[in-house]
Amino acid sequence: MLVLLKVDNVTKRFGQLTAVEKLSFSVNRGEVLGIVEQNGAGKSTTFKMILNFLVPDQGRITIDNRELDEKILNKIGFLPEERGLYFNMSIKEQILYFARLHAYNGKQAERELPFWMNALAVKGNEETLIKDLSKGNQQKVQLITALIHHPQLVILDEPFSGLDPVNIGLLIEIVKKLRQEGAAVIFSSHNMKNVSEVSDKILMLVDGKQRLYGPINEIRAAFGRNKVYLEGVFNDIAIERITGVEKIVDDYPGKIITFDSERHARDVVDLAKQCDSLQGYRLLPPTLDDIFCMITESEVARHG
């Protein structure tokens, strides 16, 4: 796969505050990178440097192995966390305005607008004013403004915020479509389930530093399998008394038990296998939520 975006050893300071420190990652064409972070951990600063709004104090950012310039930036589509639309414009006027900003043919954008409105189930028609749309539909229109010029690199900052499950599903399908068409996609989200569903790689930022980066399955595997799904043995085994149990959660028709280590998780599986009532079991890797909590808790402990 060809690297489209490369961030190489980038640091950005604001006075005594180091917002981003020695950050390195890349995004290939046809690849989705999910960014997860604590609030204020450096994501917004990173996006602003990729968009050339801020210049790194150290390191280098390239797109297609070229330094950032105005022509290169027309290859980027950006959905900011803070929405910014012109409320007195119609949907069509808004989309065509942004298409022109990216030097994209207005007539072509006008022909493609019905596809995008249908794909995202935008309520209203092309002449509907932005101010007459719900917040969710305004967000969809802003997403179209980020995609109408067919960018090679798409940056989506908290795109799922405020969307219901149906519209989250529509957006996930759009992200998958972009990947299939060869775009490089970066998105940030506090919803780890969404990150898991569409990301090829993840980047985890804590206090401006890169704590985890790589293929999502490899990262989950590296943390071991300290969870067990068990079904049918709870009248035969007092699970809560087994060594290493940290949490038990109902997951009908069974339960998910979290242990302090994979060894203790495997011990309970061995015990359950001896029960005739066992109906099912599975060792589970930690979720991204679990991993994020582990990383942030270790940081708190390290800094006292």
Q: In order of start, what are the domains of the chain with their CATH numbers? A: 3-220 (3.40.50.300), 224-284 (3.30.70.330)
CA–CA dist 8, 214 (Å, integer): 15
CA–CA dist 230, 281 (Å, integer): 5
Q: Rg (Cα) of the chain, in Å, rounded?
A: 23
Q: Three-class SS of residue 183? A: coil
Asked whether the beta carbons of 8 and 24 are under 8 A apart, the reply is yes
DSSP H helices in 58-215: 70-73, 91-101, 106-119, 135-147, 165-180, 192-198
Predicted structure pTM score: 0.86
Q: Which of 42, 48, 76, 80 is nearest to 203 (CA)?
A: 42
**Tens-binned pLDDT, residue by residue, of the chain (304 aa):** 699 999 999 999 999 999 999 999 999 999 999 998 877 778 999 999 999 999 999 999 999 999 998 888 889 999 998 878 999 999 999 999 999 999 999 999 999 999 999 999 999 899 999 999 998 899 999 999 999 999 999 999 988 887 888 999 999 999 999 999 999 999 998 888 888 889 999 999 988 899 999 999 899 888 889 899 999 888 778 887 888 998 899 998 999 999 988 999 999 999 999 998 999 999 998 888 888 888 877 665 565 5
